[in-house]
Amino acid sequence: MKAILFVFPFVLAVAYFPISQCQNLPLIEQTCKQTPYYGLCVTLLKSDPRSKTAGDVQAIALIMVDIIKAKAGGALQHIEKLKQKYPALRVPLSACKDRFNAIIIGDVPQAVEALTKGDPKFAVDAANDAALEADSCERGFSGKSPITQMNKLNHDISIITASIVKTML
């Protein structure tokens, strides 16, 4: 009994370090500090189980690219719904559809290629473009956008990604 009480805190100590490594906190935090949206960056990565086993910045960057892809896909679905709901916004919504489509078929594949094959600057370009596409989508509404928050999120995620990959150059 006494032995258990004595040993318990040391067991906790031994258990503590693997717990923090499971969360991969130092890598996530260090990486996110290099971006202008630290809080968002940490939140996104922590909620993605893959970040627990990411071994380096490249792995983190690939997770972020996948998040761009997922969010852009979500944007496309949302835009389809909005087209029904706001027929008057059909034109800018169609433009937005093209923009998010360009992110998915252009920027994301280029970023993945660049990161996996070893020339990351092309991933910086792609991520920056993804931010630009989200911005351009927003501008198409001339101030009356029904998807401002969504566009901002997509923009910020892309900027985070570009910042992260920039550190690899």
Nearer to another protein, 4 or 85 (CB): 4
Q: How far apart are CA 126 and CA 145, in angstroms?
A: 25
- What are the residues whose beta carbons fall under 8 Å from the beta carbon of 111, sequence distance 6 or more? 65, 68, 122, 123, 126, 127, 161, 165
Is 88 a binding residue for another protein by CB under 8 A? The answer is no
The DSSP secondary-structure symbol of 47 reads: T
Dihedrals φ, ψ of 163, to 5°?
Answer: -65, -40
Among 33, 77, 81, 86, binds another protein (CB under 8 A): 33
Burial status of residue 167 (CB atoms within 10 A of its CB: 0-12, 13-18, 19 or more)? middle
Residues binding another protein: what is the number (CB under 8 A)?
69
Q: What's the min distance (Å) between Cβ of 55 and another protein?
A: 14
Is 99 a binding residue for another protein by CB under 8 A? The answer is yes
Is 59 a binding residue for another protein by CB under 8 A? The answer is no
Q: What's the min distance (Å) between Cβ of 39 and another protein?
A: 4
Among 48, 66, 122, 146, binds another protein (CB under 8 A): 122
